[in-house]
Amino acid sequence: MTDLRALVAAGDPVSRHDALALAAGMSVKAVHEQLDETFLDNHAESASAFFQAWLPRLEPFERMQATDWVTTEYLLSMVHVEHSYGIAARLQLEAVTAAAGALAETLDDFGAFADGPDAEISKSVPDRLEQLAQTVRGVAAKLATEVDALPPRSEARAGRRSPRCPAGPPSSRPRPQR
């Protein structure tokens, strides 16, 4: 089996493509276990490029779970990546926006539980949830506007050290407490 760590560490587009293909068959937990804090500290730039390509490929709720972990790493082990806070903010807001859209769809689909001879809930419940779905869609639209207000990914790319981060190997810096 190909090692995700080696592919991400390589950092070139072909290896990143192969890493994305490999990660597609893995759980978020499995990716997290392979790309641990020490690895991310030492390969932050290539991991950043991988994360920015990987997260949008996940289903919305799985993406939220993964984004929670990844954005924490941008603020800790990957803080030396230039624009780490901006990248983390964009990834987090994009994930929240996608999850809000998925939640609205789930609420819209709730009517299936009130339809049919064995339905045990009143049709008024899905009606109320459809109204709530409209509100959630409005929230998702407002979140999308906020995403659009953030710096574009091209300005928040990995590859250079942040001026606020000391020079030297990332592993030589004290690690903030979580």
- How confident is the prediction along the chain (178 residues), in pLDDT tens digits per residue? 469 999 999 999 999 999 999 999 999 999 999 999 999 999 999 999 999 999 999 999 999 999 999 999 999 999 999 999 999 999 999 999 999 999 999 999 998 888 888 888 988 999 999 999 999 999 999 999 999 998 876 444 444 444 444 433 334 434 444 4
Cα gap 10→16, rounded to integer Å: 8
All structural domains of the chain with their residue ranges: 4-164
CB 46 within 8 A of CB 80: no
Give the phi and the psi of residue 148 in degrees, each rounded to 5. Answer: -65, -25
**Hey, how many other C-beta atoms are within 10 angstroms of the C-beta on 111?**
16
Q: Model pTM? A: 0.81
Tell me the two tokens of residue 99: 């999850």
